[in-house]
Amino acid sequence: MTELLRQCFAIQGRNFDKAGEISSEIKVILRDLGIEAAYTRRVVIVAFEAEMNVVMYAQSGTLTFIVTEDAINLIIDDVGPGIPDINLALQEGYSTASDEMREMGFGFGMGLPNMKKNSDEFRVESVVGKGTTVYATVRHHENA
Amino acid sequence: MTHGFVIDDDHCEGTMACMRTCPTHAIRVKDGKARLIPEQCIDCGSCLKACPTGAITAATLTFADLDRFKFKVAVPAPALFTQFARSDTPELVGRSLLQLGFDAVWEYAVDIELINRSIRDFVRRWNGPFPLISSSCPVVVRLVQVSYPTMVEQLIPIDAPREIAGREIKRVYSEKLKIPPEEIAAVYITPCQAKTISILQPAEEVKSHLDGSIGISEIYNDILFNIRRLESSKPGADDSAASRKIFRMGYPEGEFHNLSESHYLPLTGLTDIINVFDDIEKGKIRNIEFLECHACPGGCIGGNLTVENMYVARAKKLNLIASIPVPTKEYLLEVERRYVSEDLSLRAPLKPRALEDGKLDLHERVRRKKKSNELMTALPGLNCGLCGAPMCRDHAEDVAAGMADLKDCVFISKDRIQNLKKYYYR
């Protein structure tokens, strides 16, 4: 599908103060593009969880946001510890979050599962010790 | 789209005060005159307060508009009772409303209690995304519809107490007086022009149960005059209609002291509300179930059609709350009776507001977005407003949409200043 718009955002690891700003920026772009609220909500859930994962676990990362005619694609690429067992990480409730992260209200093991649930296509690639890349595609659902 | 105020071109001096204060960037000042983008306006009234030349005025009802009704019932916003001295009790205020020509003054406390209960139940049952947002302030509803469309489903779909009151007034009095409901006027005595608009044009796109509103500031002097007269006269025949039983109130509207404190945040003032909504979007606010939002600082007592200083009014309000009498048996029974028999939910779902360019296709929107991003690099980012848009971002978007000329920016065109002198050196 023809790519209509592509924007790239840098995410800083461990910066909880700035966490959430990229997904909130994406929300504004989608609003300006006249994307329906329910559709936007799904995209933003994926973007937010992805952004939080990078902030919580990685040193740095980028979020690429691509609008095509029939879908919105998100590619989140980080430099970080990587995920040893992707299938395990995709299970609801599985979490490696530290107590500190939990105290801040994160790390309930819903991040990746929640991203998957809100995507139409979802793929995780990871190399332990190097980093993780998440590809998510969210499509417009008529009856969403 | 109707709005609650009028910009008078003859009085507008193009000061840009309104444009700079508008929270949704709905005003442009071109050729020395303020212009409204109706689709962006949320009727908050900030511009009204900010205008130094008084060119923006609120549009409300006058008594003459009510003459076509046989029976007129006042629904006084609780804020009304905070506008007078401590010794001027709600009973006196109510009696003076009758003197002004109302045939009855409504016992509003029951409606407020019904809605409070209904909201408490709704918050407990809700299993969608939190926080839920109170919908009694029309400005907050419109702000969400315009600026936070993904949060629209978090607006509590329960009607405002004033609407519930309007419906019950029609029912009760048409039964009692044997006249059709159309001949009965339910008139809200309003602390702000936003509620006037919510009556003329409800956000959920149905017809209001109320027939109009009169601003507190419009009848303040008349009420005060009548209070002084009533004080010096002996209780008259109107007493039965305005007995103590009716005014067991002073009850604040849309405030929920009995919700769990740790999961409940009361917010007042549009700036603070916008900050909190932005934090919600960033996922920074968790474990909050309910946000009670009033766009005016201090809540409805700070409304733009109130008269008394907000802090003085607040002292009076606290005093009124402290002296609320123990509920009578009749009151409690009435609440019970109506709670089981009435549907208190909004009659139609709230939806995000469709902006003017709603018909554009994705390609055109993307083109505009890219264009405005590109234009941003040409603009200074100072948000000086001299182009007539509040921020450089707005100017870039206006240009991309073909609604403004990039050269209106003083950094891009030196002639712009010369042009502006025409309007500002008089």
- What CATH class has B361-426? mainly alpha
Domain presence at residue A144: no
Give me the residue from B152, B284, B365 closest to A37, CB to CB.
B152
At B239, is the pLDDT very low, low, confident or very high (cuts 50, 70, 90)? very low
Considering the four listed CATH numbers 3.30.1330.10, 3.30.70.20, 3.10.290.10, 3.90.1150.60, the one that applies to the domain covering B1-59 is: 3.30.70.20
What's residue B243's pLDDT? 44
What's residue A141's pLDDT? 78
What's residue A43's pLDDT? 94
Give mean pLDDT, residues B192-202: 87
Q: Is A44 on the interface with B (CB under 8 A)?
A: yes
Handedness of CA B347, B352, B357, B361 (dihedral sign): negative
Beta carbons of B369 and A33 less than 8 Å apart:
yes
Give me the residue from B283, B352, B397 closest to A20, CB to CB.
B283
Closest residue in A to B146 (Cα) is A31
Q: How far apart are CA B372 and CA B367, in angstroms?
A: 9
The two tokens of residue B372 are 């405005």
At A144, is the pLDDT very low, low, confident or very high (cuts 50, 70, 90)? very low
Chain CA centroid to CA B128, Å = 26
Domain count for chain A, please give it: 1
Give mean pLDDT, residues B380-405: 94
What's residue B245's pLDDT? 47
Q: How far apart are CA B35 and CA B31, in angstroms?
A: 10
What's residue A110's pLDDT? 66
What's residue B134's pLDDT? 92
Distance, in angstroms, between A121 CA and closest chain B CA? 22
> pTM for the whole thing?
0.86
Model pLDDT for residues B26-50, shown as the tens digit of each residue: 999 998 999 999 888 998 888 988 9
At B353, is the pLDDT very low, low, confident or very high (cuts 50, 70, 90)? confident
Q: Which of B317-326, B348-357, B409-418 tops mean pLDDT? A: B409-418
Higher-confidence residue of B124 and A142: namely: B124
What's residue B241's pLDDT? 46
Distance, in angstroms, between A132 CA and closest chain B CA? 23
- Asked if A44 and A32 count as a contact pair (C-beta separation under 8 A), the reply is no
At B60, is the pLDDT very low, low, confident or very high (cuts 50, 70, 90)? low
Instruction: Tell me which of A16, A25, A27, A29 to substitute to probe the interface with B (most B C-beta atoms closer than 10 Å).
Output: A27
Per-residue pLDDT at B214 exceeds 80: yes
Q: Which CATH number covers residue A123?
A: 3.30.565.10
Per-residue pLDDT at A143 exceeds 60: no
Domain that holds residue A10: 3-139
Beta carbons of B369 and A5 less than 8 Å apart:
yes
Instruction: Tell me which of B150, B287, B361 to substitute to probe the interface with A (most A C-beta atoms closer than 10 Å).
Output: B150
Per-residue pLDDT at B251 exceeds 60: no
The answer to which of A140-144, B118-122, B137-141, B250-254 has the lowest mean pLDDT is B250-254
Which chain B positions have a beta carbon within 8 Å of A23's beta carbon? Answer: 281-283
The answer to which of A105-114, A120-129, B70-79, B377-386 has the lowest mean pLDDT is A105-114
Give mean pLDDT, residues B292-314: 91
Beta carbons of A19 and B283 less than 8 Å apart:
yes
Mean pLDDT of chain B: 87
Per cent of chain B over pLDDT 90 is 52
Per-residue pLDDT at B262 exceeds 50: yes
Q: How many CB atoms lie within 10 A of CB A85?
A: 11
Q: What stretch of H or E contains B32?
A: none
Per cent of chain A over pLDDT 70 is 90
Q: How far apart are CA B394 and CA B16, in angstroms?
A: 14
Distance, in angstroms, between A94 CA and closest chain B CA? 21
Higher-confidence residue of B384 and B236: namely: B384
Which chain B positions have a beta carbon within 8 Å of A31's beta carbon? Answer: 149-150
Domain presence at residue A10: yes
What's residue B246's pLDDT? 44
Instruction: Tell me which of B281, B287, B359 to substitute to probe the interface with A (most A C-beta atoms closer than 10 Å).
Output: B281
What's residue A105's pLDDT? 60
Model pLDDT for residues A56-108, shown as the tens digit of each residue: 889 999 999 999 988 999 999 999 999 888 888 888 777 777 776 666 666 66
Q: How far apart are CA A135 and CA B344, in angstroms?
A: 45
Beta carbons of B362 and A67 less than 8 Å apart:
yes
Per-residue pLDDT at A9 exceeds 50: yes
Alpha helices in B67-180 (DSSP H): 90-99, 109-125, 138-147, 161-177
Per-residue pLDDT at B248 exceeds 50: no
Closest residue in B to A69 (Cα) is B362
Chain CA centroid to CA A17, Å = 18
Beta carbons of A41 and B150 less than 8 Å apart:
yes
Query: How far is residue B367 from each of residues B361, B364, B370, measured CA to CA in Å?
Result: 10, 5, 5
**Domain regions of chain B by residue span:** 1-59, 63-341, 361-426
What's residue B74's pLDDT? 94
Q: Is A103 on the interface with B (CB under 8 A)?
A: no
Per-residue pLDDT at B219 exceeds 90: yes
Handedness of CA B2, B5, B6, B12 (dihedral sign): negative
The ipTM, to two decimals, is: 0.77
Per-residue pLDDT at B244 exceeds 50: no
Q: Collapsing DSSP states into helix, strand and coil, what is residue B22?
A: coil
